[in-house]
A and B are shown apart, each in its own frame.
Chain A
Amino acid sequence: MKGRLRRLFNSRERKITAVVVVLALVAAVTWAAWPAPAPATVATRDVTITAPGGPGIDEPVQLDSTLYLPAQTPAPAVIMAHGFGGSKRSVAANAEQLARDGFVVLAYSARGFGASTGQIGLDSLDYEIPDGRAIVDWLGTQPEVVQDGADDPRVGVTGASYGGALSLMLAGTDPRVDAAVPLITWNDLEQSLFPNAQATPADQRATTPAAASGVGDGVFKKFWTSTLMASITTGAALSASPTGVAQGDSGDSGFVRRGGTSSSSAAAPSGQSTAPDAGGTGDGTAQTPAAISAACGRMRVELCAGYAQAAQTGRITPAFSTLLEKSSPKSVVGDITAPTLLVQGERDTLFPLSEADANARAIAANGATVAMTWYNGGHDGGSPDPATEARITEWFQHYLADTGPVPSTAFQYTVEGPLSDTGSARSRTLEAPVYPGLTDATTTDRAAIALSGAPQFVVNPPGASPASISSLPGLSGLASTALSTFAGGLPGQTARFGSQPFGELTLITGTPRVTVTVSKVAVPGNVGAAAGSSAQDDGAVLYGSLSKVSEGGTRTLAGGAVAPIRLTNLPADGSPVTVTVDLPATALQVEAGSTIEVALATTDQAFAGPTAPAAYQISLAGGSIRGTEVAGGVSAPEVPGVRVSASDIPVGQFVGLAVLAVLALLGLILGGRVRSRRSDVDPALVGVPLSITGLGKSYPGGVKAVTDVGFRVEAGQVLGLLGPNGAGKTTTLRMVMGLIQPTQGEIRVFGHKIRPGSDILSRIGSFVEGSGFLPHLSGKANLDLYWKATGRPAADAHMAEALEIAGLGKAVNRKVRTYSQGMRQRLAIAQAMLGLPDLLLMDEPTNGLDPPQIHAMREVLRRYAASGRTVLVSSHLLSEVEQTCSHVVVVHLGRTIASGTVAELVSSSGEMVFSVDDQDAAAAVLRTMADDVELTETGVQADLGTVPPSAAVSALVSAGIAVMAAAPRNRLEDVFLTLIGASGSDETAGAADLAPTSHEVDYGTGSALESASALESSPDNRPNDPGGLTPVGTSSQHGGAE
């Protein structure tokens, strides 16, 4: 009962374990594979907002807008503006997210984009910015929007790039704006498109890290500008370009995918509205609307013309400069009062970090709250990281919704480590308490990094070709990195000045500056200038850059950018001009051992530099860095920060790894320590080598190998376990060895219950179903290793005796794989006898042995038992059991059907043979008391039934017949056959199998059946009736002899 309970518990435990494991697996896979739950849909409302056309445009513009509504209204509003080339649809995902965060979001297509009418004015203060104010007006009438007063909605504004500039300029011109978050945008559009990075005295006085306002007459950033123009003239932008980036707008959400269809359909009606406008402004001459549309898309014609002029000459005209001023936040950003979070990209060759720096200075000068984030991305690839997005949301939540803590005005920036094995760099985010230099209390430290390098000559080749490639607009981050890694400027066109290896890890955060002297060198080939042709003098253009060079020679271009300067005052006589260059702003980490290198090149693919051949001598100049004289070096801004980004180490998995490692170690340690499970001992059976009761084994599926086997073996017995093949003998032996778990009943060896691996098995020697040796080892080595594996003292093995029993001679040193069947058999029996176990299990031990060996083996087993030990021999051979065993248990079809001494079994049959002098007379006498009396050559044969043989003998004697001998007629074969015939009449296969192996096949008669019934004792009462099993004597060997 207890055992059954325990089994049940075990199996239930197993089931629970299995279920838990399966559930865990399923959960893990589901969790991993399940598509992210579709976020709740946000209610939207499409509206068209009408705004005045602006100066010179009579017709109002229709702004196609979508209002995203949060779950609860009224709520503060956020105007979300899209990037250049995009539409309101480009920002849909971000708008929905912000609406889920509790804001009414208004996304609209700027004039000239998407389904809005009008022409693109490049965020002009005359056109797009009044549009923004019109939208604020409209929000002031909406019941869903929280109102601060009459016609004053609670409203924030955000957007990236084109939308960022709109955010700044709207915040600067409309005091109703309560918060602004412009991303990756410009301060001065002229400096962005026509940079001239000569450091002005104002720049050098500024104490912010990235001040670089530059001077006028810059170098045209032709690649970026043409790319932007293409995005509106073709209706599609570069697929890789996040030009339209609005907080993670990857470019594929709106305009790219539908570029061929809806964009062109949207352009069609506007084309019609363009023509009157063009005519209205008076610029249009004989141009057809189609031609204008093809050349400029929906851009205002004067802008388009300015672009066309710049693209051809590479220079900016004063008229175009004035136009761009209208499109620059520069003029209004100083009026901003709303708290502003500036987010700028560190990978941005279009709008560098210095643009955000200029915005920050202007806003802070007005006393407004301003915070700065530089993230690892920008127009050259990379959307804001989640931490930055969270910062934006918190900014709005506090300043619009009055929830959450006051957002920090800390300065967050990201630095990249060296190139990693993955091909990209590892980045980490640092934080400084404030963006330094915005107030008088803080300033940016500038370290002087000494450079060295002799004066160098550089040449601008005619046509400025071949040109260096420093950047490609909109290239994804990885390629940009690779580009900056492998492009180091062309030889002969680049002057380089390097530093000593850094002693410690250094961060350059902001705009590094270098002062050089440049002098013109006469170039014979410059025929154009010499001839005084009409070609204008473009001055000297140089592209400054700073690179980190690792110990292994890997070059990383700071900011992935170059800073062009144009020197128009360079004397032709070769007298030098000293100039301080604002190198591209960056957040660059220089590891210990790396150097930095400043390069000045004459060409760059991304810019429209002069095409006339020229040569210059460039040398380092000492300079003054805020009062400190520096002899040829870089002034490197440094903003100390502490790491705020999470460590690279995945903490959860790291802990998991440690836990698993500890688990595995514990498992290994505990797996070796065997639980000292209280063994189940029956004290009454301690002296009994083997006791089996009610043993059964059924396999899943209902196949029963053993149904009900029960017997008991006493010390000193040689017990034969007899049964046909398939009777369940071997399964029983395996259960005794703990290899197979019984499904019912129990086995006790010396009173100890057998479980898998029970200690008591150490008293059993076994040979079951053939040998089991390591074929690559010799017989001797096998026995040695076997004994060593038991862990018992070598002296207890009795190896010498075992080797004698094996009788292999010198073959014992050969590999086992060369052995014959018989040799293995003997070796295995010897192995079973190692250590002289108290109980020896022998399964068909004489298989494969030759007759003398069989004979010897029988003798060995008998003598082994005579030493007080016990031997259990299983066999399907009757003669084997008869000749070896003192006792026998007959098993058939999984049941014990008889047991007792061999003699008892044999005599239990009523058939006797009487050797008499007068056979006929004896037959006559016997017929009176027995059936089936026959006369045979050996004597009179009679089935006495229940009549005791002694009664028959005395009857014969009293009849005057001389009885010379009286013996049971049957041999064990006969008994066995009748037994299995009786118990397995429904299945004779077993008996039939037996037939060939037994001589004198004599199928049972009726009387035999009776005797079988008499012998067959109920297994249930056998343990209570040990008398039936009591051995007659260990010496009872009659019937065993030939």
Chain B
Amino acid sequence: MSPVHHDHSADAAVAAMNSVTAAVPVTEHGTPVGFAVGRTLPVRVELSRQLRRRRTQVALGFMALLPVILVISFAFGSNNGARGAVSLVDLATSGSINFAMVSLFFSASFLLIVVISLFFGDTIASEASWSSLRYLLAMPVPRIRLIRQKVLVAGLLSVLALSILPVTALIIGGFAYGWNPLSTPVGEQFTFGEGLLRLGIIVGYVAVQLTWVAGLALLLSVSTDAPLGAVGGAVLISILSQILNQIDALGDIRNWLPTHYSFAWTGALVDPVRWDDMIRGGFASLAYAVLFTTLAVLRFRRKDITS
């Protein structure tokens, strides 16, 4: 770097000051004209900040890639004929909706939890780790609004991820296995249209059921400056909940575990739809989500930002 170059840029910087005009006009509230807190950090802006991240792109891309990997995996070897009871997985190759259902089934217990944790655990913690949080807050984006915008965008991304998987699986499954009616393990069949509706119910339920993970990840995200800690913590706790759910000795206490009803969506595979467990699971998840989110907001509202 030559001094000449420095002088040039330095001079330019100083020269730029010549065009600095008189004070920016302010409103009666003392804020610059054109500023309104209600317009700070629009969803569109936050979305473009997040969508340009490699992490977001990889997560969304993987949701589209998983069905392809599954098709290839199913292509290996032949099904040796189901012995005993038929499971959902045995029916995976019977049609596109079945395939989409199985893709969801495989992802529900871990992959989706990781993805949701990633989107929500990253919200505040990654800004803190980039030190950009303080500039957002001093902008000022009011704290509750910041959380709200972050939650909206993380929610949008989560719904996107949750939709990409079944939609891709539906399309890929359709070409690989045909656009057949949905067959269920209990021997029922739904027409393609009805099957799509059922798939929609399932995706909707999974989305509601995972809200507790989102809430937990958000709470951890405002509690730590390390994004990995927030994401990993949420995943760990959900695994713990899944393990506890396996322990019969806990009896009815398990009904309070947020993951207890995580597979209640199989109720959408019978006619008429069995809503009871889905309602219990949805209620439990939303209750946890609201609790965690409230704690997150309370915590973040008055927290000293030292990152």
Contact = CB atoms under 8 A, between A and B. Distances in A.
Query: Which among B54, B139, B274 has the greatest number of chain A C-beta atoms within 10 A?
Result: B139
B17 interface: yes
A658 to B, nearest CB: 9
Contacts of A553: 187
A758 B20 contact: no
Contacts of A859: 14, 17
Interface residues of A, number: 109
Contacts of A420: 186, 267, 270, 274
A785 interface: yes
B7 interface: yes
Given A771-B131, A863-B17, A864-B20, A648 B276 contact: yes
B31 interface: yes
Interface string A399-420: 0000000000000000001111
A548 to B, nearest CB: 12
A426 interface: yes
Contacts of A757: 37, 137, 140-143, 145
B79 interface: no
A934 to B, nearest CB: 41
A672 B149 contact: yes
B179 interface: no
Contacts of A19: none
A667 B218 CA distance: 15
Interface string A420-453: 1111001000000000000000000000000000
Given A552-B184, A657-B279, A671-B148, A28 B269 contact: no
A673 interface: yes
Nearest to B54: A776
B145 A674 contact: yes
A418 B188 contact: yes
Contacts of B188: 418, 550-552, 554
Contacts of B272: 417
A650 B274 contact: no
Interface in A744-798: 750-752, 756-764, 766, 768-777, 781, 785-786, 788-793, 796, 798
B237 interface: no
B40 interface: yes
B298 interface: yes
B280 to A, nearest CB: 5
A741 B302 CA distance: 8
Contacts of A668: 148, 151-152
Contacts of B236: none
A772 B131 contact: yes
A552 B189 contact: yes
Interface stretch (B158-166, B223-231, B287-295): B287-295
A180 B11 CA distance: 107
Contact of A653 (B41, B54, B283, B295): B283
B45 A426 contact: no
A772 B280 contact: no
A759 B21 contact: no
A758 B141 CA distance: 9
Counting chain B residues whose Cβ lies within 8 A of the other chain, the interface size class is: 35 or more
Given A653-B279, A790-B35, A793-B34, A853 B10 contact: yes
A664 B289 contact: yes
A836 interface: yes
Interface in A644-682: 648-650, 653-654, 656-657, 660-661, 663-664, 667-668, 671-674, 679, 681
Nearest to B37: A674
Secondary structure class of chain B's binding surface, majority of residues: helix
A738 B6 contact: no
Interface stretch (A140-148, A224-232, A493-501, A804-812): A804-812
Interface string B118-154: 0000000000001111111111111111011101100
A971 interface: no
Contact of A760 (B30, B145, B152): B30
Contacts of B298: 14, 17-18
A809 B1 CA distance: 13
A393 B80 CA distance: 55
A769 B26 CA distance: 28
A805 B16 contact: yes
A751 B305 contact: no
Interface in B225-262: 252-253, 255-256
A681 B30 contact: yes
A850 interface: yes
Contacts of A758: 140
Query: Which among B10, B12, B18, B305 has the greatest number of chain A C-beta atoms within 10 A?
Result: B10
A29 interface: yes
Given A757-B140, A867-B22, A552 B11 contact: no
A836 B20 contact: yes
B53 A868 contact: no
Given A551-B189, A648-B276, A759 B30 contact: yes
A869 B26 CA distance: 13
Contacts of B141: 757, 789
A869 B32 CA distance: 14
A268 interface: no
Interface in A809-841: 809, 831, 835-838
B24 A835 contact: yes
Query: Which among B21, B37, B211, B252 has the greatest number of chain A C-beta atoms within 10 A?
Result: B37
B14 to A, nearest CB: 5
B269 A421 contact: yes
B48 interface: yes
Contact of B148 (A672, A863, A867): A672
A654 B279 contact: yes
B81 interface: no
Contacts of B193: none
Contacts of A17: 298
B77 interface: no
B22 A792 contact: no
A417 B186 CA distance: 12
Nearest to A482: B85
Interface in B37-68: 37-42, 45-46, 48-49, 52-54
A824 to B, nearest CB: 10
B50 to A, nearest CB: 10
Contacts of A737: 134, 137-138
A657 B286 contact: yes
B270 A791 contact: no
B82 interface: no
Given A420-B274, A552-B189, A869 B14 contact: no
B15 interface: yes
Given A421-B270, A552-B188, A671-B147, A790 B40 contact: yes
A871 to B, nearest CB: 12
Query: Which among A29, A418, A649, A739 has the greatest number of chain B C-beta atoms within 10 A?
Result: A739
Given A740-B305, A756-B302, A786-B135, A674 B41 contact: no
A759 B37 CA distance: 7
B19 interface: yes
Contact of A759 (B12, B35, B136): B35
A663 B305 CA distance: 28
Contacts of A660: 283, 286-287, 289-290
B306 interface: yes
Contacts of B144: 671, 674
Given A664-B286, A681-B30, A757-B143, A28 B38 contact: no
B135 A831 contact: yes
Contact of A790 (B52, B139, B142, B280): B139
B15 A804 contact: yes
23 contacts: A418-B270, A420-B274, A421-B186, A421-B274, A552-B184, A554-B186, A660-B290, A671-B151, A672-B148, A674-B37, A739-B138, A759-B29, A773-B132, A786-B135, A789-B40, A789-B45, A793-B34, A796-B32, A805-B13, A859-B14, A859-B17, A860-B13, A868-B23
Given A418-B186, A734-B306, A798-B19, 6 more contacts: A420-B267, A421-B267, A650-B279, A737-B137, A789-B41, A867-B21
